[in-house]
Structures are given as C-alpha cells and as structure tokens.
Structure 1
Amino acid sequence: MALQTGLYYPYVHLRDESWAKAAALYWRNLARVVPAGFPVRDREVVRELNQGSGFLIDTDPRPAVEAVAPAFIAAVRDNAEALRARFAVEDRRFTSRWQSAPRLSPTTLDLTGLYPEEVPGELEDALKEAGLSYRDWRQMVGNQQVSWVVVDPALAWAYKCAITEELARRTAFAPVTDQLEAYTATGDWTAERIADTLLGRTAPMVGRETAQARLAMMAVRCVLPADLRHVPAEKVVQLRTQYADEFVAFSAAVEAATADVVGATQEVTDRSAFELHLQGAFDLHLAQPLESLRKAMNGLKLNTVFTTLTIKPEVSVTGAGLAWLLGGTTTAVGTGIAFTALATRQAAARERDTLVASSPAGYLLRVEKELKPATVLKRAGRVVARTAGVGI
C-alpha cells in the first residue's frame, strides 16, 4: 500500500490554497510541523478542507530538533567565519516571513524567524556567538506576540529541511511542499553536508526522496481545472471520500511509478537525467493509462449509441415522453432511442464502472470529470447519458 500521509514543509501554514486543494486530492492525511505553543492561524479554505475529515495532522518537531541540532552546532562552530560572511544578521531587517524559497546565499536584506521551540538553547547560543542570529519579540501572529530566533532565510531554510528529513525518517511520512526549490533540499544532513550546502560547496540532491510526492502531485495537477481557486473546498472533500476504491488503485500506481524511478536511478547523480526518469515513470504508470481510459470511455459511449439506433423501436409511454424531451422529429425514433437506452442502461453502467475501477487512472478521470466546469448544454447531455448508463 502506498504511503497515505505527506509531511508538509517548510512552513506551518499552507501558503497556496490551490496547492492545498490538490494535495487533499491525493494525501489521505497531511502532517505539518507545529512546535509546541505555536499560534496556528489557518486560512478559511484550509479549515474547510480539514473540517470533518482530519486531513491535517499537527506534528511536534521536538524529537527531530534534538536529533538534528548537534550537526548544525558543529557546522556553525567549525565554519563560523565563512558563514558569518554570508549570513550575518547585523543591520538587516526582520520581516518574519519568506516571500519564496530562498537560494542558499543571501539575496535580500530581510531576515526571517525560527520559533524558539524549534531551536535548542545550545544551537541558539552557537548561532548568536557566530553573529548569525538574535532574539526579537516585536512580531505578532494574529493577536499574539511571539518571540523569534531571527536568522537569514537561507539558513532557516536549510534547518527546516533538515528537521523535515529527520521527521520523515521517524514517521515514514513523505516530505511534500508547495515550494519547488525545497525538493532539492532533502537527504542526509550531516555537519559536513550542512556546511557544504550553506557555503555553496555541493550540488543539490537528485531528489529520489521526494519522488512519490512529486509523481502524485504531477498526476493530480494534470486533471485539475486551470483555476482551482473557484472549486469549493467541500467538493474536494467529497471527492476524497466518494471514490475510495479508485483512490486505492491510483495510490498503488503512484507507488509502482515511484519504485520504478528509485530502482532505475540508484547510480544517477545528474539531476536532469533524474527528471527524465521521473517523467518517463509518470507517462508509463499514470498519463498513458489515463489516456487509454478516456478512449475506452468514449468508445463505450459510441458503442451504446450505435446499439441504441439499430435496435428495433418499441412503443412505450416512457419512450414517447423521452422523445418529446429530446425534441425528436418522430415518436418512433424517440421511442426507439428511449427503449434501447433503458434496456442497455444496466449493462453499460456495469461496463463503465468496471473500466474505471480496473484502471489505475480511474480516480484521475473521476477528479477530471467532477471538477472541470461544464456548460449548460454539456450538463443537459450528461443527464441523458447517465439515464443511458454511460455517463460518469
């Protein structure tokens, strides 16, 4: 069974509402790192996604923090001068927020803050002694005043990624983020690698650790409407629960695609090559089955219509009523269509459900059909199609 819980990072609050909806269509649960006492202020859309479904799980990072801190302390103390030249906090402004995923070098005068519960005392002392941090009490979260350990955004970024990696190891949750740059910041965060990463002495990791999360989001994104902001959160919650069987098959396909990528790239160190392997696995396990399912469903509809038009019409009250609804030119034709549609409804419905349930892309097709807005004409046609047992 594929992993069902993602581990969101590097923030507490989900920044992108559209991304949050897409994530809710794949992850059964989404854990996020919430230090003890942190004042959570979720957006309304996120609260709606979480209401009644338990989508979000707050995870205390303290055990992971205690495991990661010694490596950061060693990296800071062994490389204090070089780090201070790049990440010194003197005469720089504290904004408390990251505008986007920062590069691992200073690109702005603005500083960000780490919540004190995420920074053990010895690590804070090491950062302060190296000129890499100070404490600030001015910033507010909601109506609550919060103390922050103020640092360069790139340093905070690396620290958050290291905590996430340790949490993932301890929980078997899959790291996932709405910040694409963060996908390169996974791996074994030793003191040497921390220093090499912060000082630009190493290339980004290939990204095998986040292959599952990336494949899952690629698959979901490919069937979503362009502007997901207008899709109600309750519709997403409904899809999460209504098509459980199709979801299981889809999850298994993502797991298989992930296994292919990881197995084929064990010796790959070139990121561009890894991306090609990732795209190939996506095409084989998800994109191609989705296209095949679309064609099969279209073929089912055509076959049903062909059967409807060739079976001998028989007069019935229901047929006459449907002929009037369809605006048929003759009662006989309308009656024949109605009779055959009703006669083949159950068989076509069974075939439709079998096609969707047996395909690893069945869940994706459900999402595509349910979330893409239809015109009035398409909605009217869908009513007739469902009556004939061929609509999804």
Structure 2
Amino acid sequence: MALQTGLYYPYVHLRDETWAKAAALYWRHLARVVPAGFPVQDRGVVRELNQASGFIVDSDPRQVIEAVAPAFVTAVRDNAEALRARSAVQGRRFTSRWHSNPAPNWRTRNLTGLYPEEVPPALEAALEEAGLSYRDHRQRVWHHQEWVVVDPSLAWAYKCAVTQELARRTAFTPVTDQLDAYTATGDWTAEHIADTLLGRAAPSIGHETTQSRLAMMAVRCVLPADLRHVPVEKIVRLRTQYADEFVAFDTAVKAATAEVVGATQEVTDRAAFELHLQGAFDCHLAQPLESLRKAMNGLKLNTILTTLTIKPEVSVPGAGLAWLLGGTATAVGTGLAFTVLATRQATARERDTLVASSPAGYLLRVEKELKPATMLKRAGRQSHALREWASEWAVHESLSGFAVA
C-alpha cells in the first residue's frame, strides 16, 4: 500500500471502533494529536490494529500550538466582552467530555477540558482574564488529572485549528469520524477565529477533507453491516496482502479528489459541493466497482469437463480404448485432471489480473474478504467440492467404457 497518513481529529481517542476498522482499510497510518504526558487509553480494536500493523502514530503538538495560539490570544482579547456574553464558564458544569456540535443554548451546555500541555501560558492567561476558562483538578483512580476548562465551541475551534496547522506541516490528510468537524477547516486567522466563536462564520464546505471523505465513502460502501464482529486479523491481512489493487484504488481516489477540488474552487454552497462529491464518487469508484462485479460474474470457468463432450461408444470395447487414445485409461484420466487444474489456474490468473487492473479491485477484495459466509453458502461450497471430486473420480473409473468426442 502507499505510505499515506490520515490525521485524526478532534479527539485523541478514536470514538468508534467500527470506524477505526474502516479507516485502517484505507490509511496506512493514522496520526493523532497527543500532548506530552496525555494518558492514552485506547480501546481493544485500536490497540490490536496498532500492535499488529503500527496503525496509530502519535504526534506531539508542541511546536504547532506555539504557532496557532497567538491568533487565538488576539481573537480573545479583541472580542473579550462579546465572547464572555456567549461562552463564559462561570456557574456551568464541567464533564471533561465534549462534542464537536455543541447544543444551541450555551447556558445549558456542559463545559469541557483541554489538556494543559496543549494550551500555552499566554493563551490560558487570556482565556482566564476574559472569563472563558479556569483550571480544574480531578483525582482519578489511576492518576491525578488537570484540565483547562472551556466552552465546547472554543475547544472545538482550537482543536481544529491545531489539526489544520499540523496537517500543513506534515502533509497528513485530516480525517474524522465526527461529521460536523468536517466544516472546521479553513485559514484560522484571528478574524476567522472570532467569527467562528461568535457564530458569524459561514461553514466551510471542506475542500481540505475531500480525499478522506471520498476514500471513506468508497470503503464503507463495501463493508458488511456487522463490521464490528469482523476480526482485526482480517483487516490487517487486507492492509498488507493486496498492494497492487490498493495502488489502483488510491490512484482513483486521488483522481476523483483532484476533479472535485478543481471544479469547486469557487463553490460556496455546501449542497452544491456535496453533489460534486457524489458525482466524482460515482464516476471514479462506484461505477467501476459495478462494472468489475459484472465482469467477474461473466468470467466462466471453462474446464475440460465442460468443453469436451463425453459419450458412450458401445462399438469400442473398453480394453481397446487405451490403444485408441494412445495410453491407458488411467493415464487419460490423469491428463484430464491436469487439464482441468491448468484451466482453473489460468482462469484464476485472468481473474486476478482483472481485479488488479481495476480502480475498484481493492474494494471488491474488501467486499469478498469481509463478507461473512452464510451456512447455506458454506454448505453449497462443500457440496460443490464433493461434486467436483466425484466427477473427476468418475472420469477415471468409467473411461474404459467411454470415448471422448
């Protein structure tokens, strides 16, 4: 697979283990912002993915926050009164959890926390002076935890700005499982920060996240509904086993991304942007996938047993058949078996070539590998294998009384 890295935001811990499995099928690595000393406690699936294939990469935001914080300091100091009227922390409950889409009524919204190591002293001082933050000390079972307590909308904007700057410096692609956060892109100047915090900014349509959205749309369209029950081992195998197919798929994703970004540079209407996104997805990924499915279904396995007609020849005694065909009946039967095997192998190579050359080949691999086999299908495969074995055995046993025409 191509060495490409997604940059997860706005949290440290991945919220959805099913989404993590889907992300692992496209992103070779998934970076995330982890301040120094942050107590990382990943869930089972994320831990397994990381241990098996080095999926997660932790990025220290120290240099990035030093670059982002001054614009926030300016925005807070220049708009302190308006921000205090909208996002003051006094008298509000702190939960240490926050969401990227805060409730409309700020007075009933629970406060959230930023980790102290990701808030430079100058920014924390400006926030406290404006009545927009305070320090909270909490004793957990395993450690003592401190938070810089703020309104969720401020934490959301700050996290997104840090992510955007880190993406610029690393060439990582921002990706998130929080749909509202896709709008949190753009140039985080002091003016844009103030407009965002005061509800004056028009939502970004998300040019910066086009690639990650297209990729995840494509991967998720072929995943089984019960992906959470799919073993991590299968995800890891897909990540490493089908390099050729993935390269073709990744090329198609990038072509679709370039098409959307090129066509929507001046687009400011989000609904229109979504139509462009869907159109590129259909053209570059969904339609090739459907065409590949049809091609695979139409690829027939022409073995010697289906291309040759076997019929009784009563005028030819069984004892003379070996002489007529130039060898013993057993030798002829063995030859037929080898021909069947060779034909199957040739068809398998043709099938693999077809999949590897298609931009949707990797998606078809994912679909086939992760689709759970029903009991009926498993029984069908066993029955088919038995029929084939019986058919080949019958060729050996009865060839002395038949001729091949």
Using structure 1 for the length normalisation, give the TM-score: 0.88
Paired letter, 1:293: L
How many Å separate the matches in 2 of 1:48 and 1:78? 47
Matches within 5 A, 1:154-165: 154-165=153-164
Identical amino acids, percent of aligned pairs: 79
How many Å separate the matches in 2 of 1:380 and 1:337? 27
Matches within 5 A, 1:257-296: 257-296=256-295
Which digits, 9 at most, give the CA deviation of each residue in 1:206-235, with x for residues without a partner? Answer: 110000000000000000011211111121
Q: Say if 1:35 and 1:118, in contact at 8 Å, map to a contact too.
A: yes
Paired letter, 2:191: E
Give the aligned partner of residue 88 of structure 1: 88
1:4 is displaced (CA, Å) by 1.0
SS at 2:125 equivalent: helix
Paired letter, 1:211: T
Matches within 5 A, 1:1-392: 4-99=4-99, 101-102=101-102, 106=106, 108-138=108-138, 140=140, 143-300=142-299, 303-304=300-301, 308-313=305-310, 341-382=340-381
Give the aligned partner of residue 328 of structure 1: none
Which has the higher mean CA deviation after the structures are superposed, 350-359 or 106-115? 106-115
Which digits, 9 at most, give the CA deviation of each residue in 1:81-103, with x for residues without a partner? Answer: 11111111001111001255336
1:350 is displaced (CA, Å) by 1.1
How many Å separate the matches in 1 of 2:340 and 2:372? 26
Which digits, 9 at most, give the CA deviation of each residue in 1:298-349, with x for residues without a partner? Answer: 000xx3269853422499xxxxxxxxxxxxxxxxxxx999777434212101
The gaps in structure 2 that reach 5 residues or longer are 313-333, 389-405
Aligned Cα RMSD in Å?
Answer: 2.5
Q: Say if 1:104 and 1:197, in contact at 8 Å, map to a contact too.
A: no
How many Å separate the matches in 1 of 2:266 and 2:349? 46
Which digits, 9 at most, give the CA deviation of each residue in 1:108-161, with x for residues without a partner? Answer: 431110001110001000000100000001153x61111100001111000000
1:244 is displaced (CA, Å) by 1.5
Paired letter, 1:208: H
Distance 1:57 1:341, change over 3 A: same
Paired letter, 1:275: E
Q: Say if 2:157 and 2:197, in contact at 8 Å, map to a contact too.
A: yes
Paired letter, 2:149: V
- Number of corresponding residues: 366
Which has the higher mean CA deviation after the structures are superposed, 51-60 or 103-112? 103-112
Distance 1:355 1:148, change over 3 A: same
Q: Say if 2:224 and 2:371, in contact at 8 Å, map to a contact too.
A: yes
Paired letter, 2:192: R
Paired letter, 1:60: D
How many Å separate the matches in 1 of 2:34 and 2:62? 9
How many Å separate the matches in 2 of 1:82 and 1:284? 47
Using structure 2 for the length normalisation, give the TM-score: 0.85
How many Å separate the matches in 2 of 1:271 and 1:23? 24
Q: Say if 2:183 and 2:204, in contact at 8 Å, map to a contact too.
A: yes
Larger radius of gyration: 2
Distance 1:381 1:79, change over 3 A: same
Which digits, 9 at most, give the CA deviation of each residue in 1:45-97, with x for residues without a partner? Answer: 11001113111000001111011000000000011111111111001111001
Q: Say if 2:218 and 2:363, in contact at 8 Å, map to a contact too.
A: yes
